[in-house]
Amino acid sequence: MKLITFISEENQTAAEQYVQSVYQSVIKRNPHESEFHQAVKEILDSLTPVFVKHPKYMKSGVLERIVEPERVVSFRVPWVDDNGNVHVNRGFRAQFNSALGPYKGGIRFHPSVNASIIKFLGFEQIFKNSLTGQPIGGGKGGSDFDPKGKSDNEIMRFTQSFMTELYKYIGPDADIPAGDIGVGAREIGFMFGQYKRIRGGHEAGVLTGKGIVYGGSLTRTEATGYGCVYFVNEMLKFKGLSFQDSTVVISGSGNVSIYAIEKAQQLGAKVIACSDSNGYIHDPNGINLETVKLLKEVERQRISEYVKHHPQATYTEGCQNIWSIPCDIALPCATQNEIDEESAKTLVANGVKAIGEGANMPSTLEAIEVFLNNEVLFGPAKAANAGGVAVSALEMAQNSMRLSWTFEEVDAKLHSIMKNIYESSVLAAEEYGYSGNLVVGANIAGFIKVADAMMLQGIV
Ligand code: GLU
């Protein structure tokens, strides 16, 4: 008995030291990349119990290898605006980990994009994709191009220039990009057209999120938002709660947010607020989703226009105070670090019961701690927002078979994937002594599969 305690204490210390030393080397090797450090820290903080139980992962250097991208490319993207002015943006693709399958992950167009943002997203994607149970590795790409206010022609010229470089690194069995912030069906269409033109063949499986008429999957548009609500619904059920008659605040008004609103409303919730990067609207009567869809999907307008259609609603400039609106459930679906410690404390003080992260890393590490310490149900991004990439993998499957499934078929598969992710996260948390902590559960469940695959493939 004594011997076992002694050995496990030794293992504990060795595991803690191992995790710490890998984290320090990440900071040293990637200076000034705070978002990447944050994403690595969130995972690493959960993994000590895994190394205590399975020291084999330490011996084969799984952690040192997993935090180092297999490859990152960065390239010049020159383009000409409608007035004939030349602009230069920077493009990226981080091919982070291919242990489970070809690199898979979106492309983000946003002025904040830099190496740190792309690496945090690519790193998260490894574990998220693993959790889906599908054969996809992790990657991410993007550019600091700002699509806001650009004409369709400018978007097309930029996107074609971007793909003229990116095509060298991707392919249906190598790396399959998709959308993310600033990249939707329009941009994927332009990228696909340019890829096809350069490569000279209709390789449908090279991108996901395609238009339905040329190889896209039904339900892909809805998948991240619906999936997030399915996941939160599982968390609520466990506590005897539901979306029915709950008050919900959902940040953002892009693809993820719109379809989270739709599914939450279908489940009987009252969604009272949403936002864009300029500010937020509060409609105590419940948001009219048709208006949001019209403004955002058709007219490409700002969310502030909503109050012209619905005068009972209010618009507030700036986004942070959206979290001061009392609600039962909050779904951050806008961007990284949108909920800080103070916003988390405000949500808790106002009685929030559940958080589901629809965006990538929307809560800071301090905010997550506030939620966990106050027993708020917390669905971390890599589990709760995995529905998008899960349906992307279903799109790849359909492309390979040259078949198309119905909306209902894909939606049913999405629903069961989200349930499985919830269950495997719950089980992993229990197994490693963190019952009820889905952050730890999702991180461990996602990690183990990748780690096992890496071990089986040797030191590569
Ligand atoms: N950008 C989405 C994500 O963060 C989707 C990626 C994909 O479909 O490949 O998971």
User: Using CA of residue 451, residue 452, residue 453, residue 454, what is the dihedral sign?
Assistant: positive
Mean pLDDT for 235-260 is 98
User: Best of 104, 109, 125 to mutate for ligand 1, by most ligand atoms within 8 A of CB?
Assistant: 125
Task: Please give the span between the terminal C-alpha atoms of the chain, in angstroms, as a whole number.
Answer: 39
Whether 130 and 449 have beta carbons less than 8 Å apart is answered as yes
The architecture in CATH of the region 71-204 reads: 3-Layer(aba) Sandwich (3.40)
What is the rounded CA–CA span in Å between residue 206 and residue 195?
A: 9
**What's the mean pLDDT in 213-220?**
98
Q: What is the mean pLDDT of the chain?
A: 97
Mean pLDDT value across residues 318-345: 98
- Which residue, 30, 9, 11, is CA-closest to 19? 11
Position in ligand 1 atom list of the atom nearest CA 179: 1
Cβ–ligand 1 contact at 180 (below 6 Å): yes
> If you count them, how many residues does the chain have?
460
The predicted pLDDT at position 10 comes to 85
- Round to whole Å and give the CA distance between 424 and 443: 10
Domain ranges across the chain? 2-67, 71-204, 223-379
Neighbours of 81 (CB within 10 A): 14
Find the mean pLDDT for residues 399-417.
98
CB distance 335 to ligand 1 below 6 Å: no
- Whether the predicted model's global pTM rises above the 0.95 cut: yes
Give yes or no on whether 71-204 and 223-379 have one common fold.
yes
Question: Tens digits of per-residue pLDDT, 105-164?
Answer: 999 999 999 999 999 999 999 999 999 999 999 999 999 999 999 999 999 999 999 999
> Does residue 263 contact residue 225 with C-beta atoms inside 8 Å?
yes
What percent of the chain shows pLDDT beyond 70? 98
Smallest CA-to-CA distance from 432 within 49, 45, 48, 127 is with 49
Tens digit of each residue's pLDDT (9 = 90 or more) over 344-394: 999 999 999 999 999 999 999 999 999 999 999 999 999 999 999 999 999
pLDDT exceeds 80 at position 437 = yes
Confidence of residue 9 (pLDDT cuts 50, 70, 90): confident
Question: What DSSP letter does each residue of 176-208 carry, written as one string?
Answer: EEE-BTTB-HHHHHHHHHHHHHHH-S--GGG-S
Cα 224 to ligand 1 centroid, rounded to whole Å: 8
State how far the alpha carbon of 114 is from the alpha carbons of 32, 95, 171, 409, in Å.
11, 15, 23, 38
The whole-number average pLDDT for the span 39-62 is: 96
Q: What single-letter DSSP state applies at residue 148?
A: T
Please list, in sequence order, all residues whose beta carbon lies within 8 angstroms of the beta carbon of residue 65, skipping any fewer than 6 positions away.
454, 459
Using the mean position of ligand 1's atoms as its centre, give its distance from the Cα of residue 382 in Å: 10
Residues 61 and 458 sit within 8 Å (Cβ to Cβ): no
Determine the distance separating the centroid of ligand 1 and the alpha carbon of 180, expressed in angstroms: 6
CB of residue 356 inside a 6 A radius of ligand 1: no
Taking the C-alpha atoms of residue 219 and residue 138, their distance in angstroms, rounded to an integer, is 22
Q: Kindly state the greatest CA–CA separation across the chain.
A: 78
223-379 fold: Rossmann fold (3.40.50)
Show Cβ contacts of residue 5 under 8 Å, excluding neighbours closer than 6 positions. Answer: none
pLDDT in tens, 294-321: 999 999 999 999 999 999 999 999 999 9
pLDDT tens digits, 14-39? 999 999 999 999 999 999 999 999 99
**What residues does 281 pair with on adjacent strands?**
274, 315
The model's confidence at residue 2, banded by pLDDT at 50, 70 and 90, is very low
DSSP characters over 272-306: EEEE-SSEEEE-TT---HHHHHIIIIIS---GGGH
162 CB contacts (<8 Å, ≥6 apart)?
Answer: 77, 89, 91, 143, 145, 191
Whether 446 and 382 have beta carbons less than 8 Å apart is answered as: yes
Q: What is the pLDDT of residue 7?
A: 57
Is 293 in the active site? no
Å from CA of 103 to ligand 1 middle: 11
- SS3 percent helix, strand, coil of the chain, rounded to 5, is 55, 15, 30
Ligand 1 atom nearest to CA at 386? 10
DSSP annotation of 359: S
The catalytic residue among 128, 140, 196, 270 is 140
Report the atom number in ligand 1 closest to the C-alpha of 389.
8
Does residue 1 carry a pLDDT above 70?
A: no
